[in-house]
Amino acid sequence: MTVIPEPDSVMDITAPAVPEAETSLRRFISDFTDNKVAVSALVVFLAILFVAVFCPLISPQDPYDLAVIDIMDSRLPPGSESMSGMQFWLGTDDQGRDMVSAIFYGLRTSLAVGATSGFIALCMGASIGLIAAYFGGRVDAVIMRVVDLQLSFPAILVALILLAILGKGVDKIIVALIAVQWAYYARIARGSALVERSKEYIEAAHCLALSNRRIVFRHLLPNVMPPLIVVATVQVAHAILLEATLSFLGIGLPVTKPSLGLLISTGFEYMMSGKYWISFFPGIALLITVVSINLVGDQLRDVLNPRLQK
Amino acid sequence: MSVFIIRRSMQAALVVVVMSLIVFFGVNVIGNPVDILINPEFDHEEMERAIKALGLDLPLWQQYLVFVKNAFQGNFGESFVYGEPTLKLIVQRMPATLELAFCSLLMSIFLGIPLGLWAGLKPESPVSKTIMSGSILGFSLPTFWVGIMMIMIFAVELGILPSTGRGATVRVLGIDMSFLTLDGFKHLLMPAVNLGFLNLSLVIRLSCAGTREVILQDYIKFARAKGVSPRRVVLVHVLKNILIPVITVIGLQLGNLIAFSVVTETIFSWPGMGKLIIDSILLLDRPVKVAYLLITATMFVTINLVVDILYSVLDPRVRLQDIKA
Amino acid sequence: MKNGSTLIVEDLKTHFFTKMGIVKAVDGVTFAVNRGEVLGLVGESGCGKAGTGFSILGLGDPPGRVVNGRILFKGEDIVGLPEQEMHRFRGRRIAMIFQDPMMTLNPVLRIDTQMIEAITAHEKISRQEALKRCREALVRIGISAPDERLKAYPHQFSGGMRQRVSIAIALLHKPDLIIADEPTTALDVTIQGQILYEVQKLCRKTATSLIWITHDLTVIAGLADRICVMYAGRIVESGDVDSILDRPLHPYTRGLIGSVPSHSKRGEELTQIPGMAPSLLNLQGGCTFRPRCPRAVDACLKMPEITSPFEGREVRCFHPHLDESI
């Protein structure tokens, strides 16, 4: 008969079944930085963010200060000089604005609108999703019906409907962008929360008679954050594109606010005569911004997706 | 199966009713209905008459019923700008938009699924990495900007494709189609590619992701163990499994394409519904706005319904689930 | 190893090249299966038994690769053959039955589609003819009303039924060898018994060789002719089934048998094998079982080779239980 050996002598030299687990944050960072492209995208995005925040300080000209721009400078190609000796690296638009400055300010508006609407939509959507998941039953069914309904309509149509009813203005654009985004957050939050809700630590919290609100916000929320963050990157990118599209069509931001979409639309008229730069460069700026956000979001999603892990 | 269809149809009808309520209240509660529905250039007497005729002096719920009754008869009022019944205007332009949307859709399917499948089968190869990086560009690029650049390159610089309008049409089954003529095709090419570009990237990414997941499944290994040829494994076993999620998304994308055509139609001056709605928003042609929104909303609901039914046909598990439910 | 064996596996090594290191899933496995013989491949999860099975048919997934060894099927070496060549064997001369019946049949294809394609992959016959053969195959495996079943989808069947279909598919071309990877693990005990009985009957009738991979000794006891016990990617003991069960030589085998409750040992404590199976990434030098072995001695710091203490038995151990029966 086999004799059961002394536990100590065996346990010490038993090789562990898996290597030492690193802290999840460190592993997350190392997984993320595996993809060099995503890291460069992150750097680019941070640069753009910097430009957006500090543009009054770093742009060559304030393109919305009427005293500074001169109609005589208008429609100059890239590399030209103004009467006052200022270099127009990317040319000027039809009002004589320096394209570089116009693009900087436009980026600022785009990012501000995108981030604001994204943030508010996230808070709103996540709260609604969490409430739906937490209370379940009828509440959940009703909320999810509304979410599904909203999601079945294309973003641009929803924005069109709202803007057609509400009219023009920065605040109205932000409302439209929030309306377009909140449902995604709600659905993701609810999905994750449902998974978490069935886990034991929530039952344990219940047993400790913690208030509903505390459970939802202190316990469910931190576990629901990762997928929300992934969705947020994509959504903000979409919001930025949508705002630019609406501004291009003339139903977005008012003419007085700097906007990349508006620049591109202005430049459209001049394309036939070969003055491509008014449309081209703002488009490139928009493209770089959105691509970098998407690349970062992509990598985040791959890193956080359990199904692709081998 | 038919229980499923009936249930879904009823849900769809409910959504349309809700949409009509939203549009109605948008017009009457948020906006001033007098402004929205009556031409602001009428003088006082004409306004009184119009108000009476439109029933705007009635209580709100009655107004809604009048609205619905009119809608069923196809009466959405007259356009301020064109002076013609709005429904007629929209219906006239619908074929152009639908043609554009369908061609974009077909292009993205027939190009996107094979590319995505390939990328999914050989994820490490340089070709597939290029395809996947390229597809990120697809939904990061602002569609309107790409359209402008396309015009600049192909119409202005190279001069090989026309930059505006719809080409010569041919009447098929009572509907004018332009892709059947060479001139029509040339006019259609750029707008269709522009509109479909985003969709194409979506399809590629979905197909690739789907393929990568499916290829790891046991039933694929089992099929190989039976001696099934690799070609059949991919074209039957893998493809049918990825088709289900891809078709669902694509089907919903048709709606998206129709909505997004507002942008492409504006740039290329394509005479479709989309251009009409933008013009009417800018020109404050409110009856057209109301009619367009309600009609498009109904179209979406219908499309979603059709997709749901198609989905259940493709995936036998859904059919049985619903019967049990 | 007799000449004329259906399958001879020599020093097979299948390694997985991962980011975290090389996982030596199968690390020098040698055995043979004769005509009409049932060989049990026994061991815990992760010991490499499934990897061995897949490697025989060349079905290992990347990043795994066969890095060494020969697999002689009726004298022909099939290691590393290109896909078109392997096609001759897969499903026809060598068939495989998988573990989880839920996932081995494609959920979106009908049963008849999946059975017919197994036939037409190797023979050019009409669909009618193929359908007839499918019907017969289902009847043979004990499925009533085969026509209805053929038109159905996999999720409409129970687990046991699905596994019967998989077995029917495996038998379609009357293969010389069937590799069964834990086919009854996911099933209820009663269904398990039925399936075992059916498979045993059919294999005896057609003199088909069978490799039955399992972690469950009770299953193998009634079914197999010979057993190979695997641990950490290697075979540690092999021989005739009755001989091994009566008189296990390797401490691991003894531990496995001892941990199974049985009538004859009523009232006695069940033995356990302390510790856990080692990670195949960080194998320490020497005998892989040493950390958990109650009989480890200094010699065990080196990797033992296969020895044959007496006729018909082989063991990989410096300190086997030579003198005691159970």
CB contacts, 8 Å: C282 with chain A:
15-16, 19
In B, minimum Cα distance to C83 occurs at: B230
Q: What distance in Å separates the CA atoms of residue B197 and residue B105, rounded to the nearest whole number? A: 10
Residue C311 has phi, psi (to 5 degrees) of -55, 130
- Check if the beta carbon of residue C65 is closer than 8 Å to that of residue C17: yes
Sign, CA torsion A257/A262/A264/A267 = negative
- Check if the beta carbon of residue A248 is closer than 8 Å to that of residue A110: no
CB contacts, 8 Å: C276 with chain A:
14, 17
Chains in contact with C, where contact requires at least 3 CB pairs less than 8 Å apart? A, B
Q: Which of B240, B216, B224 is nearest to C117 (CA)?
A: B224
Number of helices (H), then strands (E), belonging to chain A: the values are 12, 2
Whether B304 sits inside 8 A of A152 (CB atoms) is: yes
Percent of chain B with pLDDT over 90: 0
Per-block mean pLDDT, blocks of 10 residues, chain C (326 long): 71 84 85 89 83 85 82 85 84 87 84 89 89 88 85 86 87 88 82 81 85 86 88 88 86 80 66 73 76 80 82 83 66
Q: Which of A206, A197, A202, A214 is nearest to A129 (CA)?
A: A197
Whether B221 sits inside 8 A of C59 (CB atoms) is: yes
CB contacts, 8 Å: B212 with chain A:
308
Confidence of residue A177 (pLDDT cuts 50, 70, 90): very high
Q: Is C38 helix (H, G, I), strand (E, B) or coil?
A: strand
Exposed / middle / buried, residue C292 (Cβ in 10 Å: 0-12, 13-18, 19+): buried
Q: What distance in Å separates the CA atoms of residue B150 and residue A271, rounded to the nearest whole number? A: 11
- What average pLDDT does range A207-211 have in this prediction? 67
C 281-310 → B contacts, CB under 8 A: none
How high is the pLDDT of residue C188? Answer: 81
Does residue C272 sit at the A interface (CB-CB below 8 Å)? yes
The residues on B that touch A, with CB distances below 8 Å, are 15, 18, 22-23, 26-27, 30-31, 133, 136-137, 139-145, 148-149, 151-152, 156, 212-213, 252, 255-256, 259-260, 262-263, 266-267, 277-278, 281-282, 289, 293, 296-297, 300-301, 304
Chains in contact with A, where contact requires at least 3 CB pairs less than 8 Å apart? B, C
As a 3-state breakdown, chain A gives helix, strand, coil percent values, each rounded to 5, of 70, 0, 25
How high is the pLDDT of residue A57? Answer: 77
Q: Which of B181, B169, B194 is nearest to B107 (CA)?
A: B194
Q: One-letter amino acid identity for A134?
A: Y
Alpha helices in chain B (DSSP H): 2-25, 33-37, 44-54, 60-72, 86-121, 126-140, 143-150, 182-214, 218-225, 230-232, 239-268, 273-282, 286-314, 316-324
How high is the pLDDT of residue C197? Answer: 82
The residues on A that touch C, with CB distances below 8 Å, are 1-5, 7, 10-11, 13-19, 310
- Check if the beta carbon of residue A148 is closer than 8 Å to that of residue A161: no
Exposed / middle / buried, residue A146 (Cβ in 10 Å: 0-12, 13-18, 19+): middle
Does residue C284 sit at the A interface (CB-CB below 8 Å)? yes
Q: What distance in Å separates the CA atoms of residue B76 and residue A228, rounded to the nearest whole number? A: 42
Does residue C216 sit at the B interface (CB-CB below 8 Å)? no
Instruction: Collect all residues with Cβ–Cβ distance below 8 Å to A139 and sequence separation of at least 6.
Output: A131, A132
CB contacts, 8 Å: B227 with chain C:
87, 89-92, 118, 121-122
Instruction: Collect all residues with Cβ–Cβ distance below 8 Å to B66 and sequence separation of at least 6.
Output: B54, B55, B58
Q: What distance in Å separates the CA atoms of residue A58 and residue A61, rounded to the nearest whole number? A: 9
Does residue A249 sit at the B interface (CB-CB below 8 Å)? yes
Confidence of residue A239 (pLDDT cuts 50, 70, 90): very high
Token output for B32:
């001033």
Token output for B301:
């609901």
Does residue C62 sit at the B interface (CB-CB below 8 Å)? no
Task: Mean pLDDT check: name the lowest of A93-97, B95-99, C98-102.
Answer: A93-97
| C57-87 residue pLDDT tens | 888 777 788 888 888 888 888 888 888 888 8
Q: What distance in Å separates the CA atoms of residue A267 and residue C125, rounded to the nearest whole number? A: 67
- What average pLDDT does range A68-72 have in this prediction? 68
CA atoms within 13 A on the CB side of B117: 19
- What average pLDDT does range B176-191 have in this prediction? 77
Sign, CA torsion B81/B87/B92/B98 = positive
Q: Is B262 helix (H, G, I), strand (E, B) or coil?
A: helix
How high is the pLDDT of residue B5? Answer: 78
Task: Mean pLDDT check: name the lowest of A58-72, A184-198, B139-153.
Answer: A58-72
| C204-231 residue pLDDT tens | 888 889 999 988 888 888 888 899 998 8
The pLDDT of residue A2 is above 50: no
How high is the pLDDT of residue A15? Answer: 39
Nearest CB among C18, C20, C254 relative to A2 is that of C254
Q: Taking the complete model, does pTM exceed 0.90, yes or no?
A: no
CB contacts, 8 Å: B317 with chain C:
107, 153, 155
CB contacts, 8 Å: B22 with chain A:
161
Nearest CB among C255, C279, C284 relative to A17 is that of C279
Percent of chain B with pLDDT over 70: 83
Whether B23 sits inside 8 A of A271 (CB atoms) is: no
Angstrom CA distances, C295 to A3, B231, C317, stand at 9, 54, 10
More confident residue, C51 or B163: C51
Residue among C88, C104, C185 with most chain B CBs within 10 A, to mutate? C104
Most confident range, picked from A208-217, B1-10, B140-149, C278-287: B140-149
| B218-277 residue pLDDT tens | 888 888 888 888 888 888 888 888 887 787 777 777 878 888 888 888 888 888 888 888
Confidence of residue A5 (pLDDT cuts 50, 70, 90): very low
Q: Is C121 helix (H, G, I), strand (E, B) or coil?
A: coil
Q: Tokens 């990347």 label which residue?
A: C62
Q: Tokens 């591109």 label which residue?
A: A264
How high is the pLDDT of residue A116? Answer: 92
As a 3-state breakdown, chain C gives helix, strand, coil percent values, each rounded to 5, of 35, 25, 45
Confidence of residue A122 (pLDDT cuts 50, 70, 90): very high
The pLDDT of residue B210 is above 50: yes
Ordered strands of the C226-231 beta sheet = C94-97, C177-181, C209-214, C38-42, C226-231, C234-240, C313-315
CB contacts, 8 Å: C156 with chain B:
320
How high is the pLDDT of residue A249? Answer: 86
Residues A47-63 as b/e (b if ≥16 CB within 10 A, e otherwise) read ebbebbeebeeebebbb
Whether A291 sits inside 8 A of B137 (CB atoms) is: yes
How high is the pLDDT of residue A121? Answer: 94
Confidence of residue B188 (pLDDT cuts 50, 70, 90): confident
More confident residue, A231 or A29: A231
Pairs across A and B, CB distance < 8 A: 114
How high is the pLDDT of residue B108? Answer: 85
Per-chain mean pLDDT for chain A:
77
Confidence of residue A118 (pLDDT cuts 50, 70, 90): very high
